[in-house]
């Protein structure tokens, strides 16, 4: 294993501080390194592998599609993209879909759609977007511009212009930034990298009313918190606050690199048109077969019901750690997107857990994040809790 790590460090650009393990395969909720050691996975490829590893229905559907056709480009129609779009529309209640290769690309498209919508209203190009402090939307230049963390942005200035930052769950901070130039307000329904902060229902509803009053577009980023992770297909459905534009990725393809942005018919008819936006790979038959299959499995296997059941149990177990350890300040999150907030860095705890066969990840320096596959059981949560308890005690 160390030989492979050494080769990687000689050849890969060092943009990640990787943990010292080389994973070779997965089965269910477990990963296996190249030396055969088993690990219980509570990261799921950063909230991606919702269905776990080796789902037979999913794998067979992709194998069958590979034998048919993988790519055609968007100059032509393909059946998986048509079926995936139809099912995404049903799952979200939104009207138009654009398939991308990643979550960051979905954010780029959402920003462009919002600016084009405003441009078509008044012909001006000085429109402003309000984003949230501590947010994370991706590392491409547009997505980085609306990411509310200076450490990610400062080395790459100047960003795209006219971005202002308010505070999540502080409506007055949003209202104070609104001008006649404001074209969109963007936020994660549940902040991920920023610390597992859910938006409050009253805040979301107030922002939605403000957007309706001023004809401002509400963009909700559901890249991490969506696709069932919080107990509804999209986290905003818990609150009944429908966005004008939504982004999604991660669990959307359950391992196949794919994202999407969706919008209402009103935005769709008054923003991007032919030539305004495009992608070579986005919406190709293989990626869209993954989306179509994931949505079918969710429905047939009642995945959301299971997420709510095990999500409640995970919440209970994590609350016990808050009570037991003084250095754990609180638990935050919804469903199977949870965090334990500590009063010190958690890197050592995560490293100890990996040594003991448990895969965890942080959100910021002091939060242990839990985003496991949706197919975990209460018994898996007990196993995780036993290992984590040993690490916390040490």
Measured CA to CA in angstroms, residue 139 lies from 12, 102, 108, 153, 166 at distances of 18, 11, 10, 9, 20
The per-residue pLDDT for 338 is 98
Round the average pLDDT of the chain to a whole number and report it: 97
Thinking of the domain 2-54+302-393, which architecture would CATH place it in? Answer: Alpha-Beta Complex (3.90)
CATH code given to domain 69-300: 3.40.640.10
- 339-391 pLDDT, tens digit per residue, is 999 999 999 999 999 999 999 999 989 999 999 999 999 999 999 999 999 99
Q: Token pair of 284, please?
A: 């190709």
- pLDDT for the residue 197: 96
Does pTM surpass 0.85? Answer: yes
Mean pLDDT of 326-346: 97
* pLDDT tens per residue, range 257-279: 999 999 999 999 999 999 999 99
Query: ∠ CA 150-154-159 to the nearest 5 degrees?
Result: 100
Domain boundaries, the chain: 2-54+302-393, 69-300
| Percentage, residues of the chain above pLDDT 70 | 100
């Amino acid at each position: 294993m160390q030989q492979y790590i050494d080769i990687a460090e000689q050849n890969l650009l060092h943009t990640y501080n990787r943990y010292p393990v080389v994973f070779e395969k997965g089965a269910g909720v477990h990963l296996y390194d190249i030396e055969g050691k088993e690990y219980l996975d509570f990261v799921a490829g950063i909230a991606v592998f919702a269905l776990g590893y080796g789902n037979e229905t999913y794998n067979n559907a992709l194998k069958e599609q590979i034998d048919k056709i993988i790519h055609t480009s968007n100059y032509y129609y393909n059946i998986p993209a048509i079926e995936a779009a139809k099912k995404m529309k049903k799952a979200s209640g939104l009207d138009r879909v654009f398939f991308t290769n990643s979550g960051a690309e979905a954010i780029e498209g959402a920003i462009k759609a919002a600016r084009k919508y405003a441009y078509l209203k008044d012909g001006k190009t000085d429109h402003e977007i309000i984003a949230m402090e501590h947010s994370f939307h991706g590392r491409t230049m547009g997505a980085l511009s609306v990411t509310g963390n200076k450490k990610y942005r400062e080395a790459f200035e100047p960003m795209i212009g006219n971005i202002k930052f308010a505070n999540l769950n502080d409506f007055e901070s949003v209202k104070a930034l609104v001008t006649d130039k404001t074209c969109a307000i963007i936020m994660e329904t549940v902040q991920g990298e920023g610390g597992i902060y859910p938006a409050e229902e009253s805040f979301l509803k107030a922002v939605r009313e403000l957007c309706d009053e001023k004809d401002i577009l509400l963009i909700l980023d559901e890249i991490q918190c969506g696709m069932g992770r919080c107990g509804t297909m999209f986290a905003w459905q818990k609150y009944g606050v429908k966005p004008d534009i939504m982004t999604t990725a991660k669990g959307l393809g359950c391992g196949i690199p794919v994202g999407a942005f969706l919008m209402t018919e009103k935005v769709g008819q008054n923003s991007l048109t032919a030539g305004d936006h495009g992608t070579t790979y986005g919406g190709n038959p293989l990626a869209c077969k993954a989306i179509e299959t994931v949505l079918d499995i969710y429905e047939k296997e009642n995945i959301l019901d299971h997420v709510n059941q095990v999500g409640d149990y995970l919440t209970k177990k994590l609350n016990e750690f808050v009570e037991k350890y003084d250095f754990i300040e609180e638990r935050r999150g919804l469903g199977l997107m949870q965090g334990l907030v500590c009063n010190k860095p958690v890197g050592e705890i995560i490293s100890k857990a990996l040594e003991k066969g448990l895969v965890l990840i942080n959100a910021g320096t002091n939060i242990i994040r839990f985003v496991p596959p949706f197919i975990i059981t209460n018994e898996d949560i007990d196993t995780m809790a036993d290992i984590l308890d040993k690490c916390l005690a040490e």
